[in-house]
Structure 1
């Protein structure tokens, strides 16, 4: 059977393509934005990608077209599918019907930390010998690919609240029917499809309604937005998790190092184990604790889960070290929301101390482009010694006024090469440069490393 995936290079759809290929389908796809790491893993799997959405890519006619949620009416490929009456479905619907049926689904939802927590959870299950399937919106270094079918009933899925498709406006995660559900946190995001936080909470309520009474929901203590969701109706046991200061938690992290590199795990007031690992930040301690709790629900002893975390190698594009040249370390980070930006910089600042920390930001997400969080961006970047901002042509609001409070340490650029040149001109040994974008950012990481080496662009 031939599947053609529209939007195949998206983080979700690329993983779906790998699952379909592993299941034995012939897979092809189209996308307008082809860049690593998803383009690399598709190429490695031998999956052909047509750049652009010309209808010619749908010849020979596929048996089924899987439509990504980034596509809408007016797209040439979508219009061709509809006009020709080709069978089509959404990615989440295909996943639910072809992969998740009959499996123990462990879903990770929330505004922040989904990819890291999903990766941690899948790795714990793998380390414990369970061989889980998984579909994650990033590439865990321990696996090397973003999705696998697995060899056990367990399947870990990153459960995104974004809408399903142009013809199905429910959140993706409503399709997944998890038995174990992690709710990491909840803030307002995705302003292009949700008018307010209450609209997102409604979708989370629909997700909660799908978890069986013999399942488990793990949620952070003290998250008011999530507590409001659970108050709308919950028929499943809830295990609160939190830091030592939180009371009445099923799982607690204590004795947390300032940079988050070490912490103790306590269960219902009793010490269980300690974790010393490579990840940074208290937000990742929370992610790790959630993964431990979800794995424990699937039968993994807490001490074994902690051992797995100590061997976890991280996720691509999550404060990933791209290279170190002449004492300057360059990182790639997916952070594209003020909260994620602030927590990422806080973790790195705690690790590097007084070393210069330079933040480079591309405001690329749909919410960023709408200017919803513009008042929160400057405060999120205060821990950086320098801030370089890219003003893309399609950004409808000017960056400079929003960052006036940062004074001389903030600069706005309309050209990516100008950012590279500026970074090189002012780079000092010991600098840490964090490049933040949820897109390819004009291959700025590679261009910067090459320029630092003295190789120009």
Structure 2
């Protein structure tokens, strides 16, 4: 099979390219810009484009499939050439389905927790010696790539609700046709695509209907909006299994799940992660893994990359970075750190970086989300407004939206770095949250500098 990737440098795209290369496919690709780690990883496997840019002459009739990334535009010259030649054009979720239509497909959906639930399942299956394929949205310890495609009978897919490609406006998780579907919760996101709350919720209602006959839906009983969607669904051919918090306890900063008279100490913490664990447990139960074996394997799970990742600590301070960016994720992450360290104050800093979080019409969704923090900081890199071609706004707009007059606002990464390095951090934790990169600040070096100053 000869496959060509348009916008090969994307996170999922370059991993899919590597997976197909490993499967023996003849893989080529193009992109106008390639960042790390995509560049190095594509080069390692011998499939890095020789030059950046779009080259319609690469598109020839001997190509079996063109895979189109979200980064490409509808007027992309390679796409136009492929359409002119009548080649088969797939989005990457469509092609994942094409490669897995004969497998048992497990699809993890929801506004939050998708990567962590998927990562937990992969970790436990690996510990159990199971044969499986996967697609996950973060690099995981012990896994070479974020996509694996072999002859395994099972595939575990992190399925998000964003659009499949520039020419396919369907949410990705609709295209996988799950046999086992998970929904972790529903909290409005992607306002640029789903301008109303109901249009966003509708995507999850539709996802339930894509679950194959005789399949299973596993969903969080703790989410009111999700429960309403499930209860209103009239699909009778799908078994619906709710989950809620397991029994747990926190001792000396360590969270343990309590099950069948045994304690299982975890390296992760927070009620949101305990809910994630229950979703993963129920999936693994469907695959023949007992509750005891699941929890025992989970004790060795260190978490997904950038999810409550510990940057540094001493006796009185922990510094974390987290991928949280939406209101629900922000609130859950802050509460998790507060509950884990009841005797410490918390400095919480959120970078607003996504189209939704920067949108003035959506910003009010953040009202009250920073209230549990002792000190609240919001950062928006001034360059982000320029890059996204959005009109900038000042601290007063942010403070009003978050409904917090004592909130601190920064729009320059250098000034934010200086401020954080001067904080009296003794007896406090610092939580840095973003789906971006804080304007290029080296967070590991920052944490080291802060701890040195105590």
Give the TM-score normalised by the residue count of structure 2.
0.85
Structure 2 runs not aligned, ≥5 long:
none
Aligned to 2:92: 91
Task: Choose which of 421, 429, 434 in structure 2 pairs with 1:432.
Answer: 429
Matched, 1:452 2:413: no
Question: Quick check: 1:330–1:445 contact (8 Å CA) kept in 2?
Answer: no
CA distance in 2, matches of 1:454, 1:44: 37
Question: Quick check: 1:322–1:332 contact (8 Å CA) kept in 2?
Answer: yes
After superposition, the Cα gap between the structure-2 partners of 1:87 and 1:238, relative to the gap in structure 1 and judged at 3 Å, is closer
Query: 1:187, CA displacement in angstroms?
Result: 1.8
Query: 1:274, CA displacement in angstroms?
Result: 4.3
Query: 1:203, CA displacement in angstroms?
Result: 2.6
| Residue aligned with 1:124, SS | helix
After superposition, the Cα gap between the structure-2 partners of 1:39 and 1:274, relative to the gap in structure 1 and judged at 3 Å, is farther
| Residue aligned with 1:379, SS | coil
Aligned to 2:283: 294
Aligned to 1:364: 353
Query: 1:120, CA displacement in angstroms?
Result: 0.5
Structure 1 runs not aligned, ≥5 long:
244-252, 266-270
- For 1:139-188, what per-residue CA distance to the aligned partner results, in whole angstroms no more than 9, with x for missing partners? 22242532223563111000111111122111111111211111111121
- Larger displacement relative to structure 2 (376-385 or 439-448): 439-448
Query: 1:55, CA displacement in angstroms?
Result: 1.5
Question: Quick check: 2:32–2:54 contact (8 Å CA) kept in 1?
Answer: no
CA distance in 1, matches of 2:372, 2:449: 24
CA distance in 2, matches of 1:39, 1:359: 33
Matched, 1:347 2:336: yes
Query: 1:189, CA displacement in angstroms?
Result: 1.2
RMSD: 3.1
Task: Choose which of 237, 241, 264 in structure 2 pairs with 1:239.
Answer: 241
Aligned to 2:48: 48
After superposition, the Cα gap between the structure-2 partners of 1:21 and 1:237, relative to the gap in structure 1 and judged at 3 Å, is same
Aligned to 1:413: 410
Question: Quick check: 2:381–2:413 contact (8 Å CA) kept in 1?
Answer: no
After superposition, the Cα gap between the structure-2 partners of 1:46 and 1:429, relative to the gap in structure 1 and judged at 3 Å, is farther
- Larger displacement relative to structure 2 (159-168 or 439-448): 439-448
CA distance in 2, matches of 1:143, 1:272: 33
Aligned to 1:157: 157
After superposition, the Cα gap between the structure-2 partners of 1:282 and 1:327, relative to the gap in structure 1 and judged at 3 Å, is closer
Aligned to 1:168: 168
- Larger displacement relative to structure 2 (209-218 or 130-139): 209-218
CA distance in 2, matches of 1:272, 1:43: 51
After superposition, the Cα gap between the structure-2 partners of 1:294 and 1:451, relative to the gap in structure 1 and judged at 3 Å, is closer
Aligned to 2:391: 396
| Residue aligned with 2:31, SS | strand
CA distance in 2, matches of 1:11, 1:43: 15
Aligned to 1:263: 257
| Residue aligned with 1:261, SS | strand
CA distance in 1, matches of 2:316, 2:78: 48
CA distance in 2, matches of 1:130, 1:372: 46
Matched, 1:320 2:309: yes
- Larger displacement relative to structure 2 (206-215 or 411-420): 206-215
Question: Quick check: 2:39–2:48 contact (8 Å CA) kept in 1?
Answer: no
CA distance in 2, matches of 1:50, 1:322: 36
Task: Choose which of 248, 259, 281 in structure 1 pairs with 2:270.
Answer: 281
| Residue aligned with 2:238, SS | coil
Aligned to 1:268: none
CA distance in 2, matches of 1:72, 1:289: 40
Aligned to 2:294: 305
Aligned to 1:73: 74
Question: Quick check: 1:328–1:427 contact (8 Å CA) kept in 2?
Answer: no
Question: Quick check: 1:424–1:452 contact (8 Å CA) kept in 2?
Answer: yes
CA distance in 1, matches of 2:81, 2:381: 31
| Residue aligned with 2:275, SS | helix
After superposition, the Cα gap between the structure-2 partners of 1:454 and 1:311, relative to the gap in structure 1 and judged at 3 Å, is closer
- Larger displacement relative to structure 2 (83-92 or 113-122): 83-92
Question: Quick check: 2:20–2:149 contact (8 Å CA) kept in 1?
Answer: no
Give the aligned length: 436
CA distance in 2, matches of 1:445, 1:328: 19
After superposition, the Cα gap between the structure-2 partners of 1:369 and 1:147, relative to the gap in structure 1 and judged at 3 Å, is same
Question: Quick check: 2:421–2:446 contact (8 Å CA) kept in 1?
Answer: no
After superposition, the Cα gap between the structure-2 partners of 1:141 and 1:431, relative to the gap in structure 1 and judged at 3 Å, is farther
| Residue aligned with 1:403, SS | helix
| Residue aligned with 2:155, SS | strand
Aligned to 1:23: 23
Aligned to 2:247: 254
- For 1:373-395, what per-residue CA distance to the aligned partner results, in whole angstroms no more than 9, with x for missing partners? 42232521223233332233315
